[in-house]
Amino acid sequence: MLAGHLPNARYLLADKGYDADHWRDWLVGLNIQPVIPNRSNRKAPHAFDAKRYKNRNVIERMFGRLKDFRRIATRYDKKAENFLAALCLAALVCFWI
């Protein structure tokens, strides 16, 4: 499971697609507060920090800008080290200009 490699964090910001009781329980077990809005069909809604959730768009925009680089979006590199180097270079170009 990819989520098993989450770094230490206090909050996890996610969209409605991650609104599941088992996912929330797993995060709480790791002492991570889920900031996930409720799906429209949820019968027992959970409280979430709407102000903190609004900051999620900053992360989404960052990924969008990085995907402007074709090499990053399609992951041409076979080795993880080369991909990380390309990602760092793209981030430097994106946010320096």
**pLDDT value of position 12:** 85
Instruction: Locate 76 and state its tokens.
Output: 């041409």
Per-residue model confidence as pLDDT tens for the chain (97 residues): 567 777 788 998 888 888 888 889 998 998 989 898 888 888 888 888 888 888 888 888 888 888 888 888 888 888 889 888 988 888 888 877 7
Instruction: Locate 41 and state its tokens.
Output: 């069909």
Residues 6+ apart with CB under 8 A from 2: none
Q: 73: number of CA atoms within 13 Å, CB side?
A: 9
**pLDDT value of position 1:** 58
Domain residue spans of the chain:
1-54, 63-97
**pLDDT value of position 2:** 63
